[in-house]
Structure 1
């Protein structure tokens, strides 16, 4: 996927979860990525996080990192 698409979609997920308490919001972003993103999308996200975090909203970044950590732990 294109980098801007990954960033945009991750930020949109964060926007949805933003009204919730921070920990719940971070967990919600991570769980959405794990539950609904194709493995290739999750791999592209992990690559983007490793290369450049620019453009990711703070909440999106925290949730994406958590999703990547959970996926790595189960790999």
Structure 2
């Protein structure tokens, strides 16, 4: 998946959770990504965000701390 598509999908999740109570938004984004993105997708998100968080909504950037970072591609870190 291209970096632009990955940013778009992560930002779409943040857009959805923006309608939730503020104290649930970041946790909601992280929980959704942890549950529904496979380790390869999460690894790619971290690869992108480790280079730059430009293009990611602030809510996605904040959620990165709560998203399970795979140890290596293909593992459930």
Per-residue Cα deviation, 1:10-65 (whole angstroms, up to 9, x for no partner): 00000000012223110000000000001100000011110011100111221234
Q: Which has the greater radius of gyration?
A: 2
Question: Structure 1 stretches of 5 or more lacking a match?
Answer: none
Asked if structure 1 preserves the Cα contact closer than 8 Å seen for 2:46 and 2:69, the reply is no
Flag the structure with more relative contact order, 1 or 2, with Cα contacts below 8 A and sequence separation at least 6: 1
RMSD value over aligned CA atoms? 1.9
Asked if structure 2 preserves the Cα contact closer than 8 Å seen for 1:14 and 1:60, the reply is yes
**Counterpart-to-counterpart distance in 2, 1:61 and 1:8:** 13
**Counterpart-to-counterpart distance in 2, 1:48 and 1:12:** 16
Aligned residues: 73
Question: Structure 2 stretches of 5 or more lacking a match?
Answer: 71-75
After TM superposition, the score normalised by the length of structure 2 is 0.82
Query: How much has 1:71 moved relative to structure 2?
Result: 3.4
More helix by share: 1
Q: Which runs of 4+ in 1 moved over 3 A?
A: none
After TM superposition, the score normalised by the length of structure 1 is 0.84
